[in-house]
A and B are shown apart, each in its own frame.
Chain A
Amino acid sequence: MPDFGFSIKKTRSESIDNGSKQKYEELVRRVPSFKRCFQCGCCTATCSARQFSDFNIRRMHTLFRRGDADGLSEQLKKCMLCGKCTLVCPRGVNIRQLVISMRTILDNGEKK
């Protein structure tokens, strides 16, 4: 079965210790439309990168929202910025900018 990131596994449990709200706030400042995301998964369903791998954009931004950013930076590099996700998102989330911003924020974090 394709994995749309809904299954209740370890990833569903939020770790408050790891969580960093700061990064999420920074992300929302950069991409205000992200607040509107209601986790429908349309983005993942249409994703070009997804068609080749287990890349799951909905899971990525959900993990980021929770502050669970381990290895996220590497994962996000798989995105081709093709823009299909942005076009299908029913909530008008600017997902391409979301990807770029998440990468920028994570990258800056690593540098510090």
Chain B
Amino acid sequence: MKISIIPYSAFVIPFLIGVVIMAVTCIIKYIRWIRMFDAAQRDVIRHNWFSWKTIPALWEMFREGLLHFRIIRKNAVLGIMHQAFALGWALLIVVGAIQSKNAIACMNQEQSITQLNTLIEQNGWYSFDKDKNIILNKRITYDEAGNKVHLHYYRPFYAAIFYNYFIHKEPASFRKAQAYADLMDGLLLYVFLGLTLALAKRLWSKSVGVRRKASHNLVDRVTKLSLWMIFPLRLISESITSSLYGNGGFLTKYLGSFLSPDIFQYFELVSWLSYSVVLAIFFISMPFTRYMHIFTELLLIWFRKIGMKESTRPTGYTRFELNACSRCGVCIEGCPIDKELDNHRIQAVYLIRGLRAHRREAKMKIIADNCLMCDRCVNDCPVGIDISSIRRMTRSKGSLDTIGNYSYIGTPRPFNAIGRIAYFGGCMSHLTPGITQAMQKIFEAADQKYWYMDRDRSICCGRPLRQQGFLNQADDLMCKNTEMIERSGAMMLVTSCPICYRSFKEEYNLKIPVMHHTEYIDLLLRQGKLNLKRDKRTVSYHDPCELGRGCGIYEQPRNVLNSVTTVRKIKEQKEESICCGFNLGNAVISIEEQTKIRDAAVRSLTAKPVDAIVTACPMCKKSFQHATDRYPVQDIAEVVAANLIKQDE
């Protein structure tokens, strides 16, 4: 005869309910979002869902979902906090599962009736015969026919979670039992490290290097509390059980030794029940709070890795992005609107929270509008959420965004520029003629044939409109410029404005290479087409946001500058450069506010003694010029043009 034995006690019920509700809610949500994917995103799934990209995707899921490398790189303490929670908890589950699997396998092997009887006596296990009758007579060894009874222990998945309660005497043949128990205690300690850091962040955020932490709503806070209570309750329960039976690892045994079994036997079940209830609270609220990010982040990494992108309007992918935000608050750290303007409501974390909760559209537009689109938060976000795309679609102007408004531009005059370089100054460069003149000088000095396509008047590239949510209008302008460039037959496009540059590169679908003038000058220098003399000044270089964070052009401008002058490293450079404040991405802040942000950028650029500020954007140049008379403000092109050695001299 076979007797089946299963660990069970009523306190597991809340836990089970919690898990089921969480699983069902998550699955329903995910299916709904996947059905909201647009055609392009569906295509990506269809073609790429399993390909060579799978391996890097899995690695990244592990690295970012559990190890949290990106947060660690931003802020080591904060990263370790996240890692301790994620990795520690995941390992507790995985190691717990292996531990319980081994223990129960040994019990199945041993077939010890004595063990069975102790287990059942101490109330953690039920045994059934083949008709599923609960066996009350515990001392059966042989059935009526005189055959030896075969014991079969089941291992429900919760055995790993409540291991210490159900297996308080490990079978003798499970030799590594103590090692596993110690390892589990070690992992619990690791989670406690995270908990301590979280507490420190809560009480005094500066202690973990966070200038301003995200403010959370009530539901989030309750759920956080339940998360924080899970681990202490687990420790208490395990210690009590250990005081009664002497099981557990170094930590629980030690703590258990302080507890008197006579008193604490009454608290054992209560304590395990509270542990189970707290787990249930956390699981049930998880899909409705920021902790939804735990699984969503993994899926998002997968989708992104196989090539999915945000579209111009909200899709299922947007839902995944919104829900993958852990509200860690990293995006607040560098935001100039937060730092300089003391506005703590518009940062990515709040935009995302509002959108996730389907807050009123008008309200969301106000939040979405007040942002420089400087991409600092996009660069910093450890989850890699495409915040600027989400912001743009929130800014969408609906009925205001009409097409056909630009018929007055007419059909651009055809120009034959075959074999030439098309030079697009951009609207802003018209306000800084120094830059366009310098570029013309450089083209001539390097003996390059060029066509200054917007010498007299310029059609805007469309990006400022796009950033404000006028997508159709932006497309209109894009068509005009594309037509003009393609009909001319130019072989390359060089532009002086990083905003246009990013637009040409990302939004236009041009068939010719596009270069910003810093890249282009760098190329000319490497080809030896320019001869420069040294400029004795020491300068600081400002990374324009659209050029640096936007397009990743950091080295070329530095190469160019290093061949003419000495560049002084500043604290906030490259990815951390501060926006000049006059970014066209923000149409709502006043000039006074822009000025405050600009001053912060200038302060950073002139923190160490320099002779001049150099940048690579007409807009930044204009902005800084208004700020200071002490330092000359120049564009890279101007610095180069001023130090050209004429070939014939």
Contact = CB atoms under 8 A, between A and B. Distances in A.
B458 A88 contact: no
Interface string A72-107: 000001101111100110001010110010011001
A87 B397 CA distance: 23
Contacts of A51: 456-458
B430 interface: yes
A36 B174 CA distance: 83
A80 B459 contact: yes
Q: Which of B410, B430, B456, B591 has the most CB of A within 10 A?
A: B591
Contact of A92 (B431, B458, B590): B590
Contact of A78 (B405, B427, B464): B405
Interface in A22-61: 32-33, 46, 48-49, 51-53, 55
B428 A83 contact: yes
Given A48-B427, A77-B402, A78-B405, A87 B582 contact: yes
Interface residues of B, number: 35
B203 interface: no
A82 B460 contact: yes
A81 B591 contact: no
B529 to A, nearest CB: 32
B468 to A, nearest CB: 6
B622 interface: yes
Given A48-B460, A96-B587, A83 B410 contact: no
B588 interface: yes
A80 B464 contact: yes
A81 B622 contact: no
A80 B468 CA distance: 11
B409 interface: yes
Contacts of A84: 427-428, 430-431
Interface residues of A, number: 26
A87 B464 contact: no
Contacts of B397: 100
B591 A33 contact: yes
Nearest to A77: B405
A48 B406 contact: no
A48 B399 contact: no
B622 A87 contact: yes
A56 to B, nearest CB: 12
A104 B430 CA distance: 29
A33 B458 CA distance: 27
A52 B590 CA distance: 28
A100 B400 CA distance: 9
Given A33-B590, A48-B427, A100-B587, A78 B408 contact: yes
A107 B587 contact: no
Most chain A CB within a 10 A radius of its CB, from B470, B477, B587, B622:
B587
A104 B400 contact: yes
A89 B228 CA distance: 55
B458 A48 contact: yes
20 contacts: A33-B591, A46-B430, A48-B459, A52-B410, A77-B473, A78-B408, A80-B460, A80-B464, A80-B465, A81-B460, A82-B427, A82-B464, A82-B584, A84-B428, A94-B588, A94-B589, A96-B468, A96-B587, A97-B588, A100-B397
Interface of B: 397, 399-400, 402, 405-406, 408-410, 427-428, 430-431, 456-460, 462, 464-465, 468, 470, 473, 477, 582, 584, 587-592, 619, 622
Which 5 interchain pairs have the tightest Cβ spacing? A51-B457, A92-B591, A77-B405, A53-B408, A80-B460
